[in-house]
Amino acid sequence: MDSVTPSTGWGVLHLYYRVDRERAEHDAGAAKHVVDAVAALEADGHQALTLAMLGHKADLGVIALGPDLARLQRFQNELLAAPIEPVWSYVSLTEQSEYGATEDDERARLATEDGVTGAAAEEKLAVWRERIAHYRENRVHPKLPMKQCCCFYPMSKRRDPDANWYGLSFDERKELMAGHGRVGRTYAGRVLQLITGSTGIDDWEWGVTLLADDIAALKEIVYEMRFDPVSTKYADFGPFFTGLVLPPDEACARVGLQASGSAR
């Protein structure tokens, strides 16, 4: 099949599986199916993280992303050669935030908050442009790091009569999201946040992937953000999936997929 490439952003799959214990016991190369599928996907210029899941919602988790949706679809089928059964999945796209600060916003902030205008403001704006370009590139074409822990959950904005996010003006929504973003930025260096869009693609409107070496940081950021008005009044959350990020062979070993021998 020809490649299927979004006009903007990359495709993202969150895939969760339960190990079929009976099949796994008779497949001496069970892990090889997963390891080989991940290696082949990465050789084709895509990324995949494998997780040994915490709790009993799933045993194995896989996050895959990249430019070609057809390649991602083939990858999810290749994984099913292993003795695993899908229990949940989510489809989304990397995207820019429509509420991101513009150059005019930053110029106004420099003037009102820092008292900087004229040539001094232009110097600071040059630094800002470089930083924001790097940030925007990472939003659309991210490189997921091998942190120790990962949490994923989907979410949507409410449409209740007394709390309809989409009934607010753009300026109101942008102001609220700016406050929400300030909370998130306090976790820079501790938590990597990947927000992906899924309106019209899956059941919720966004997917939130959080990666950290300290699982307590994942708990703290979600807890603190729930006190922000964007969450307290306007957010609904789906199920949470949390796991340990490991190389594919180690993740498979942790969940009971054999690595020795060859697949039968």
153 labelled catalytic: yes
Please state, in angstroms and rounded to a whole number, the distance separating the CA atoms of residues 257 and 216. 29
Q: Considering the candidates 16, 90, 153, 234, report the single residue annotated as catalytic.
A: 153
Query: Which residues are within 8 A (CB) of 2 and not within 5 positions of it... i.e. 6 or more apart?
Result: 70
User: Pairing between strand 206-212 and 149-157?
Assistant: antiparallel
User: DSSP alpha helices (H): ranges in the chain?
Assistant: 21-25, 30-43, 69-79, 103-109, 118-140, 170-185, 215-225, 229-232, 248-254
Residue 184 contacts residue 220 (beta carbons within 8 Å): no
Q: How far is residue 61 CA from its own chain's centroid?
A: 13
Contact 76, 84 (CB under 8 A): no
Structure tokens at 242: 């949390």
Residues 6+ apart with CB under 8 A from 147: 192, 211, 212, 213, 245
CA distances from 224 to 84, 143, 175, 230 (A): 36, 26, 18, 12
What's 165's DSSP letter?
Answer: G
Catalytic sites, residue numbers: 153
